[in-house]
Chain A
Amino acid sequence: MISCEGVGLQYSRGDGPEILRDLTFAVPAGGFRWLLGPSGAGKSSLLRLIYLAVRPTHGRLNVLGTEVGTARRRHLPRLRRRIGVVYQDFRLLAHLSVFDNVALPLRIGGRPEGQVRADVGEMLRWVGLSHKAAARPAELSGGEQQRVAIARAVVPRPSLLLADEPTGNLDGVQAERLMQLLRELNRLGTTVVVATHNDALVARHPGRTLRLAHGRLVADAEAGRA
């Protein structure tokens, strides 16, 4: 599903600092991982590697059966469509309504409009934003925007779901609902990786943890023991 062997990352090739160094781990299909570490440790950068926004400068990275380092550029879009991402900064399209934002991955994937309408409607009901379907992202609170971002990541039923600080703007109840959703998706077979600072959440939902510090993997174990 995800396998890293000696993966390293420099944002500016050659002279830049190594943001990630010598990462070696694997996440099996259907697995769940917390991704923990202090701010600046490289959690977002590692997720960026996995969702194919950057390519590794060192080592071998395999995502959903594709060697990311050597894959041809034109093979990546199809792979990206199998990966759902909740970005730390949401990345909603400001000129589109909530409905159209959530519909975006389905339409890019060429799904028929009838299915788009049904799936997006159901997804919006689930995140509790049906009544805001026509609103623009700028008219929403931070937590509501985050729920739109989550809906957009989940709606195409990805094989792999990556969430970067998905509870940062949610209250305790919403965060709990999100964890229920992620666990449900995980039980149905989706591989899930969640980067977070929210220790309380991790404590309530113990699971296997990848811990980063200064761009290195310092632990890969069940939470509590890491």
Chain B
Amino acid sequence: MREPRARLRRGRFDDLGLKRALADRLLPLLVAAMAFLAALALAGFVGAASLARHWREGAAAALTVQVPQPGAAAAGGGTRRDRVLAVLQATKGLGSVRPLSEGELNDLLRPWLGAGAETLALPLPAVIAVRLGAGAPDAAALADRLRAAAPGTLVEDHAVWVGRLAALARSLQACAGAALLLVAGVAAAVVAIATRAGLAARRQAIEIVHGLGATDGYIAGRFAGRTMLLAAAGGAVGALVALPVLLGLAELAAPFASPYGAESGAGLQLQGPATLRALPDPLWLALPALPLAAAAIGWLTAQATVRRWLRRLP
């Protein structure tokens, strides 16, 4: 029974007078700002990753086939459009093969040709949307076969766009990662500066305690314990302040990231618990980790700073 009480008492015993010497408002405030920025960077990181995944899954699985002069007769009988469709339907590994109707085609073209698209009587190609399934042939092989059936047929896969979007997402992730590292570095610098100020302010007390036989570990532990508390408090405040901001961003991003959101616009109507669900799971793990990371940075930085400083004493 005596041991824990003794330890409790020692924890409260502020022999170095650090309660006043370590900036107990400025440090948590600065760390809170860092934690807030870190939360934004984390959201950027997670958001870019999930958008990239979404695009990759959506776009990589789709092909667009264009058949010029669809109504013309093909070599093996029937129209060119029907020949191409027949080849596609015979191909294994395709999820769905859907020719766009005239109306859909006109919808697609209206932004480019204006409302009078129908009346222009342009020679429109037939457009077939193909979803790829498991074991689909690669786009080039498929294009060769379709061209054999109806020369001039174009197969457009979205690999180039997926590649570009993936590169963009990777760059965004790299930027977010760099921002995260930078924020951690600045937080460590802030803690180091606050610790040095504390060391300078309590120099005499430290020399006395050192003279009484305190080890470097004892003195560094005093500083590190206090700094860790202040940094953890700052990190918690920063994470809490970031939460509503991230929820707002997640709501805005929901229509782009959910498989059906784009069509239904459901993301814009999220409320209550659904709002909380809008935040990706990795962020629910990362946000509580912020105070822990701040505490770790505070403890490690203070330990290193104090131990380095103490080497000037004999």
Known contacts A53-B314, A85-B211, A100-B15; is-contact A93 B10 (Cβ 8 Å): no
Q: How large is the interface on A (under 10, 10 to 19, 20 to 34, 35 or more residues)?
A: 20 to 34
- Contact partner of B213 (CB less than 8 A), chosen from A80, A95, A100, is A80
- Whole-angstrom distance from the CB of B215 to the nearest CB of chain A? 4
Is B15 in contact with A113, judged by CB distance below 8 angstroms? no
Q: Does B2 contact A (CB under 8 A)?
A: yes
Residues of B23-76 at the interface with A, using a CB-CB cut-off of 8 Å, are none
Is B211 in contact with A80, judged by CB distance below 8 angstroms? yes
Known contacts A73-B314, A113-B5; is-contact A95 B211 (Cβ 8 Å): no
When chains A and B are docked, how far (Å) is the Cα of A113 from the Cα of B20? 25
| Cβ proximity bits A10-39 to B, threshold 8 Å, 1 near / 0 not | 000000000000000000000000000000
- Whole-angstrom distance from the CB of B5 to the nearest CB of chain A? 7
| Cβ proximity bits A67-98 to B, threshold 8 Å, 1 near / 0 not | 00000011011111100010000010101100
Q: Does B218 contact A (CB under 8 A)?
A: yes
Is B6 in contact with A108, judged by CB distance below 8 angstroms? no
Q: Does A105 contact B (CB under 8 A)?
A: yes
Is A93 in contact with B314, judged by CB distance below 8 angstroms? no
Q: B3 contacts which chain A residues (CB < 8 A)?
A: 112
- Whole-angstrom distance from the CB of A89 to the nearest CB of chain B? 11
Q: B6 contacts which chain A residues (CB < 8 A)?
A: 112-114
Q: Does B163 contact A (CB under 8 A)?
A: no
Q: Does A133 contact B (CB under 8 A)?
A: no
Q: Does A109 contact B (CB under 8 A)?
A: yes
When chains A and B are docked, how far (Å) is the Cα of A93 from the Cα of B2? 27
Q: A74 contacts which chain B residues (CB < 8 A)?
A: 215-216
Is A76 in contact with B314, judged by CB distance below 8 angstroms? yes
- Whole-angstrom distance from the CB of B7 to the nearest CB of chain A? 9
When chains A and B are docked, how far (Å) is the Cα of A164 from the Cα of B217? 29
Is B209 in contact with A104, judged by CB distance below 8 angstroms? yes
Q: Does A170 contact B (CB under 8 A)?
A: no
Is A77 in contact with B17, judged by CB distance below 8 angstroms? no
Is B212 in contact with A55, judged by CB distance below 8 angstroms? no
Known contacts A55-B314, A91-B208, A114-B2; is-contact A109 B13 (Cβ 8 Å): no
Q: Does B136 contact A (CB under 8 A)?
A: no
Q: A219 contacts which chain B residues (CB < 8 A)?
A: none
Known contacts A54-B314, A113-B10; is-contact A81 B212 (Cβ 8 Å): yes
Is A104 in contact with B212, judged by CB distance below 8 angstroms? yes
Is B213 in contact with A109, judged by CB distance below 8 angstroms? yes
Q: Does B174 contact A (CB under 8 A)?
A: no
Q: A55 contacts which chain B residues (CB < 8 A)?
A: 314
Is A107 in contact with B208, judged by CB distance below 8 angstroms? no
Q: B216 contacts which chain A residues (CB < 8 A)?
A: 74, 77
When chains A and B are docked, how far (Å) is the Cα of A93 from the Cα of B20? 14
Q: A109 contacts which chain B residues (CB < 8 A)?
A: 213
When chains A and B are docked, how far (Å) is the Cα of A34 from the Cα of B296? 52
When chains A and B are docked, how far (Å) is the Cα of A131 from the Cα of B216? 34
Q: B208 contacts which chain A residues (CB < 8 A)?
A: 91, 93
Q: Does A202 contact B (CB under 8 A)?
A: no
When chains A and B are docked, how far (Å) is the Cα of A146 from the Cα of B216? 28
Identify the A interface with B (CB < 8 A).
51-55, 73-74, 76-81, 85, 91, 93, 95-96, 100, 104-105, 107-109, 112-114, 152
Show 24 A/B contacts (Cβ-Cβ < 8 Å), sorted by A: A52-B314, A53-B211, A53-B314, A73-B311, A73-B314, A76-B314, A77-B210, A77-B214, A80-B212, A80-B213, A81-B212, A93-B205, A95-B20, A95-B205, A100-B15, A104-B212, A108-B15, A108-B209, A108-B218, A109-B213, A112-B6, A113-B2, A113-B6, A114-B6
User: Which 4 interchain pairs have the tightest Cβ spacing?
Assistant: A81-B213, A80-B213, A113-B6, A95-B17
| Given A80-B212, A85-B211, 19 additional A-B pairs, CB 8 A | A51-B211, A52-B314, A55-B314, A73-B314, A74-B216, A77-B210, A77-B213, A77-B214, A80-B211, A91-B204, A91-B211, A93-B208, A96-B15, A100-B13, A100-B15, A104-B15, A104-B212, A107-B10, A114-B6
